[in-house]
Structure 1
C-alpha cells in the first residue's frame, strides 16, 4: 500500500461514498439497541454523547470504507486519437471505465477572441478523449449508456457483440476490420458469474464460453488491428480473485461428465492471466445470480466497492501500469495470481485447446 493511497483521491472517495458513510456512521452512532433514536439525540444535545466519541466514530467509518474502496488511479495520461474497445460497457465498471477514458483529452492552449472587450485571450482547452466502442449484447441498453456518456468528451459508439456466440464475435471483429478501425486498447471486461447451468450457442458451459472462449477469439481476431498502426497497444483482461480456486480439467472443461458447480466454473473461467486484473469486490449487476436485489442494493453495498471504485484498476492498466512478471494487478498495484496461471506448459495446452474449440484457424 503506497503513500498515494493515503494522500490522493479523497475528493473522489467522498463523492462516491456519501450513502455508505451516512449509513455506517448512523449505525455506529446508534449502536446502543436499548436506546431510541430520540433518546440518543437528546443525550447528544445535552452533552451525553461526547464530541470525541462522534469524531472517533466518523474516523472509524471513513477508515473502513477507504480501505474497502481500494486503490485509486491517479494517472493523467491522455488518450486523444486512440480507439478503445470495451466489452460489456453498458453497465457497471465497464461503463465507468468508458466514462474515464472518454475524458482523457489533450490539454492545449488556444487563442480566443472575445468581442465584448475586443481583446485576445490565451485559454487552456481540452481536445476530445479516446474513441470508445461499447461492445455489448443488448443494443437498447448500450444505446442508453451511449447517450449518458455523450457529454464526457470523446467519441462513443455502440456495436453489437454477444460473447456467448462465436458467430457474433466474428461479426464484430469483421466490422472493425471492414471499417479499418485501429484498436489501441482492448478491455475484455464483460462476464457472467455463478449463473445456473446454461450453454452458449456452440454448446459450451456459459461461464467458460463467455468469460474465456469468447474473449479468446475476440482478442486473436483483433490482434491485426492492434499491430498495423505501429503504436503502443494494450490488452486488459478483467479477471477475478476467484481464479485462486480454479482448476482446469482439460478432459471435462464444460462439466459434461461431473456435476455442475457454478462457483468452480466461474473460478475456472478467470484463470488465464495476461496483463490481467482483479477489480475488487464490486457492487454491480454481476452478482445478480447470487443474491436478491434488496440484499445487493441496500445491504451488501456497504461492504463492496462502487462501480467507479471498481473501475480504477482497469483504468490504471489501460493508462499507467507497466509490464510485470506477475502480469496481474489489483487495487492499482501489482497483485498475486495463482501459480497455475503462470504455468507455461498448462498455458500452451489450454491455448491449443481454446484455439481448437473456437476454430481459430478457420
Structure 2
C-alpha cells in the first residue's frame, strides 16, 4: 500500500512538472555605482524594488492558461499564487518605505509612495530612459526580475503538492522575512564536505572575518568525517559556528518513509559530537517536507529553518560570480533575510568573499547564528 501511494504521488507530481528555466541572475557590473554607503545601498534597493514590482504587477493580467504556459506547468494552484503575490506586495511596500528614508541624501528612484495603491501605480509606469545614468542596468534588471518572479510563482503554483520554501505549514517553520531591516543570516547546506574540502576553508574564512553562520549537516557526511578523524577534529572544524541538521541523506523528506528517523539520527549524532555548537533547527533538502509534520517537529523541540534568498549555487549553469551577483540583487530587493549556500560547492570560495567585499560599506549587518537557537 505504501509503495502504491508513493508511486501515485510521484506520478501526480510528474504530470504537473515541466523542466524549469535556468536560475535568474543579474550582472551587477551593469549597475553604475558601488554600494559604498547606506544611502547608495538604498538607491539600488529602490531600483530593484520598483523593477520587481512592475514585473509582479504585469503578471497579474495573465489568466490561468497564460500562467500555465508561462510557468511551463500543466496544473497550477491559483490560490497559492495569489497568497504569495499578496505577501510579496506587503513586503515590497514595507521595504520601499525603509529605502525611502535616505531620499534626502540621494533622491534617485524616490517617489511619493505611502500605500499599496501608490506603489502599484508607480510600478506600472516605472521606466528607465535610454539616456539615463542607469540605462545599462535597466534591461538586464527587467529580465532578471521577470525570471526570478517566475521561479517564485512556479514554486507557489506547485505548493503544497510539492512543498518548498515558498510557503509554511506550521508555526514551527520560519524564513528570514521577519528579520530586521539590513540584517542577513548566512546558512550552508549539505556538508560537511569530504576531506580536505570547502567546509574547512569556509569555517576558517568566517572566523577570520569574525563572522558566524549556521551549517546544516547531513548525518551520513558527518559520520564519514568522524570515521576519517576524531570528534576533536570535527569540533575544531565548527568552532564559533552553529550546526543544525538536514537529515541523514540529502533527499526529499516529503515522501520518504523514514523521514523521521533521518532527522532523529542526524540530530542525535550532532548533539553527541557538537553539543556546544548544536542548534535545534532542521533545513529540509529542496525545502520539501510533509504538510502534517508540524506536530513531530514540535514534539522534538525542532524548528524548520527555511530561507528567502537562494544562491542557486548548485545550478551547473551559474558560475560562482553569477551566484554571488544573484544573492546581492536579492539582498537589495528583500533588504533582509536568510541566505542559502551549500558548503559542498567550491563556488562559495569566491562567491562569499566577493559578496562581503561588495557590501562592506553598505551599512548592512550579519546576524549571529546563535540568534536562532
TM-score, normalization by structure 2: 0.32
Of structures 1 and 2, the one scoring higher in RCO (CA 8 A, sep 6+) is 2
TM-score, normalization by structure 1: 0.33
Bigger Rg, structure 1 or 2: 1
